[in-house]
Amino acid sequence: MADPKPEEISHPPMDQLQGFEYCIDSNPSWGEAIALGFQHYILALGTAVMIPSMLVPLMGGNDDDKVRVVQTLLFVGGINTLLQTLFGTRLPTVMGGSYAFIVPIVSIIRDSSLQQLADDHQRFVQTMRAIQGALIVASSIQIILGYSQLWGICSRFFSPLGMVPVVALVGFGLFDRGFPVVGRCVEIGLPMLLLFVALSQYLKHIHARHIPVLERFALLLSITVIWAYAHLLTASGAYKHRPLQTQINCRTDKAHLISSAPWIKIPYPLQWGAPTFDAGHAFGMMSAVLVSLIESTGAFKAAARLASATPPPAHVLSRGIGWQGIGILLDGLFGTGTGSTVSVENVGMLGATRVGSRRVVQISAGFMIFFSMLGKFGALFASIPFTIFAAVYCVLFGLVAAVGLSFLQFTNMNSMRNLFITGVALFLGLSIPQYFYRYTTGAHHGPAHTNAGWFNDFINTVFSSPPTVALIVAVFLDNTLDYKDTARDRGMPWWVRFRTFQGDSRNEEFYTLPFNLNRFFPPS
């Protein structure tokens, strides 16, 4: 038998992913784009409901307060998505609430000056105002790092090898929001997972009017079927005598969103009152802002690949971080209860549908703003059990993680140096946050537990984030361990031409600002 040829056993590295019918600047028909935009909106509801459902009761808020926070988070998320897709990186990324802010927010909630307030509603309002003040101050970190181009300068130390663990753990690091949540109501979570995979992968070749309907709209179709199935189980009394936690995760009538939602309510700045400012709260919140910056950097690089675009140049990345800082400032002004970051699940949806169109994501922003004002209609969709979203996350987070691993094609993985850096960064990026999580679960406080609350928040937040730990380990090792003679092994010859706007002719197509604004903000 003849020896295989090299081209038969290897695949050449490719700048852009193949097989996308619509990339960042190409658009499907308006009807298809609207349906795809609605699908992105539905997917964004999971986090928009989950974070307020977790935090608002701790703050002393009731169901009415929770609904208002959900509406505000969606409204500001829609505005931030439009700003990011128009003037930021211009990548098709949905901006949503971030779990990275939970540690400093819980620290504010537990502040003794707030806990001593006897009236629950008064405690909720005062806590929300304290969170707003901390977000407003902390947002300056991203605004300064972004618009000063400092983050772009820092990104010059990133290589394809160093970015592999960071982007991979943007997806892998969210594993606790996947099947562990599906397992809370496996009778609806597992069918959702299987149906979504079947429609999007095994039946994707079924077309209607030359459109792969089942692949492209797998989320809408599977959620419709499983939501109806879950409602049937609820109406039939299947959970009537089950534990309360099971009912919360399985029933379709336990969210208390529809009954509490007003018909029309437009969120507005300072709706909870004037923000209050505390230096300790602000310093603690700055750690979450740094974490969201790093997580969004990884998500931006994944979105660029899943939109079949070139990696964003340094100044485009900085521009996006600057606008994300503006987004966190808006979070503080409106009172969303948390800060903003790139929605990882919506990045994964670009790959699942093989549609990376910017217009589709902008339409989804329109849905976010519209349904946040029409409370009853928005609450109807927001009442979908979170278990259903968790089942989809199992696929979408995995897709984003795989994009991170795809950067290995530009590196030499026959190098022991590269194997060491990749393996150690991936392992510590998962292991250290897991230690912080287990310690916090058992002791009800993080491993950092000193008299300086801001210091505790900073350490516990930074080291609870898998992408952040991975970036610290990978970038440090990659730039200190035999780095002088290993540029080719690290993938730098491929990466270096994407550092500047003029480095690749395709950058103008993907990242040029609209309305001829590049005349006033020339790319570097």
- Helix/strand/coil (H/E/C) assignment for every residue in 290-324: HHHHHHHHHHHHHHHHHCCCCCCCHHHHHHHHHHH
pLDDT at 369 (0 to 100): 95
Q: Is residue 414 part of a domain?
A: no
CB atoms within 10 A of CB 210: 5
**Nearest by Cα to 294 from 330, 320, 326, 272:** 320
pLDDT at 349 (0 to 100): 96
φ, ψ of residue 22 in degrees (nearest 5)? -130, 120
411-441 confidence digits (pLDDT tens): 999 999 999 999 999 999 999 999 999 999 8
**Nearest by Cα to 97 from 128, 116, 120, 76:** 76
Q: Is residue 367 part of a domain?
A: yes
Domain residues for the domain of 143 are 30-405
pLDDT at 521 (0 to 100): 61
Q: Is residue 113 part of a domain?
A: yes
**Cα(391)–Cα(279) distance, integer angstroms:** 40
Q: What is the pTM of this model?
A: 0.93
256 DSSP 8-state letter = -
Q: Is residue 465 part of a domain?
A: no
φ, ψ of residue 162 in degrees (nearest 5)? -70, -30
Q: Is residue 150 part of a domain?
A: yes
**Cα(394)–Cα(227) distance, integer angstroms:** 18
pLDDT-based confidence at 94, cuts 50/70/90?
very high
**Nearest by Cα to 37 from 283, 220, 175:** 220
**Nearest by Cα to 126 from 257, 269, 277, 268:** 277
DSSP string, 5-50: PHHHH-----SS-S--SB-TT----HHHHHHHHHHHHHHHHHHHHH
**pLDDT above 70 as % of the chain:** 95
**Cα(313)–Cα(504) distance, integer angstroms:** 9
Q: Which two tokens stand for residue 287?
A: 């750690």
Average pLDDT over residues 35-59: 93
Q: 398: phi > 0 → left, psi -120 to 50 → alpha, else beta; which?
A: alpha
> What is the average pLDDT value for the chain, to the nearest integer?
90
pLDDT at 509 (0 to 100): 80
Q: Which two tokens stand for residue 524?
A: 């570097």
Q: Is residue 502 part of a domain?
A: no
Number of compact structural domains in the chain? 1
**Cα(340)–Cα(325) distance, integer angstroms:** 8
Q: Where is 243: in which H helix or E strand?
A: none
Q: Is residue 45 part of a domain?
A: yes
The answer for residues whose C-beta is within 8 angstroms of residue 69's C-beta and 6 or more apart is 52, 55, 56, 61, 335, 336, 337
Asked if the model's pLDDT at residue 114 lies above 60, the reply is yes
**Cα(223)–Cα(80) distance, integer angstroms:** 26
Q: Where is 88: in which H helix or E strand?
A: none
pLDDT at 238 (0 to 100): 80
Average pLDDT over residues 41-51: 92
90 in Cβ contact with 271 (< 8 Å) = no
DSSP string, 425-479: HHHHHHHHHHHHHHHHHHHSS-S--SS-HHHHHHHHHHTT-HHHHHHHHHHHHHH
346-399 confidence digits (pLDDT tens): 999 999 999 999 999 999 999 999 988 887 777 777 778 889 999 999 999 999
pLDDT at 272 (0 to 100): 93
Q: Is residue 86 part of a domain?
A: yes
The answer for residues whose C-beta is within 8 angstroms of residue 399's C-beta and 6 or more apart is 171, 306, 348, 351, 352
